[in-house]
């Protein structure tokens, strides 16, 4: 069963990686970096600040915490699983279309790829943004998951992750995001309780 899943994972990677076009090659490479999305994320945070104001510091702290959780856990799993990225797998890397920079450097990523930290971090962040953006705009917040999917897909397109790495990374991210939101709810209850005590005193 596991062998079939791994074969299907590899076949899907080769299919998706084979879609490459010159324009998409460069675009996907830039889209895999957080800097490409920074202006949009800053705009999102500005809209959130208009709503949360004094609570924005707490919101930012938990957004950062979610990424710390997902990044550390995904890195821990990578070190334990030791599954080579497709770009480092000598059995198939010659079949892949990998990004080559102008100086001739081939982008391969680190040695191990299961699970994808890009997917874990983006889905963890997307879940928290989805939650915190509800009072700001309850409909547009679904776009955060679309962003996470697209951001994660770039890793497959570039040949540095199997689809399974990304899917499992997304699950790790959603788990870390859910845990972070639980901690946030505890923190909010504690802050509210302290405020009520102070007002009562």
**pTM passes above 0.75:** yes
| Residues 79-132: tens digit of each pLDDT | 999 999 999 999 998 999 999 888 889 999 999 999 999 999 999 999 999 999
| Residues 4-57: tens digit of each pLDDT | 998 999 999 999 998 888 888 899 999 998 899 999 999 999 999 999 998 999
Would you state the pLDDT for residue 95?
93
pLDDT at 173 over 90: yes
Helix (H, G, I), strand (E, B) or coil at 106: strand
Helix (H, G, I), strand (E, B) or coil at 84: strand
Determine the Cα–Cα distance for residues 77 and 36; give it in Å rounded to an integer.
Answer: 27
Would you state the pLDDT for residue 198?
67
Ranges of each domain in the chain: 2-196
Distance in Å from the first CA to the final CA of the chain: 64
| Residues 138-156: tens digit of each pLDDT | 889 999 999 999 999 999 9
């Amino acid at each position: 069963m596991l062998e079939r899943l791994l074969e299907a994972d590899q076949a899907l990677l080769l299919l998706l990686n084979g879609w490459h076009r010159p324009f998409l090659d460069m675009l996907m490479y830039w889209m895999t970096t957080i800097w490409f999305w920074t202006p949009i994320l800053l705009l999102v945070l500005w809209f959130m600040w208009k709503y949360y104001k004094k609570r924005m510091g707490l919101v930012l702290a938990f957004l950062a915490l979610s990424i710390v959780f997902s990044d550390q856990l995904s890195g821990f799993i990578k070190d334990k699983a030791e599954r080579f990225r497709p770009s480092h797998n000598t059995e198939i890397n010659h079949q892949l279309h990998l990004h080559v920079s102008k100086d001739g450097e081939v982008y391969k990523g680190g040695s191990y790829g299961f699970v994808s930290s890009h997917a874990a971090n983006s889905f963890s962040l997307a879940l928290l943004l989805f939650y915190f953006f509800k009072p700001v705009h309850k409909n547009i917040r679904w776009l955060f998951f679309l962003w996470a999917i697209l951001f994660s897909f770039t890793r497959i397109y570039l040949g540095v992750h199997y689809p399974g790495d990304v899917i499992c990374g997304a699950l790790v991210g959603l788990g870390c995001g859910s845990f972070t939101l639980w901690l946030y709810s505890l923190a909010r209850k504690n802050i509210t309780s302290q405020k009520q005590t102070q007002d009562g005193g």
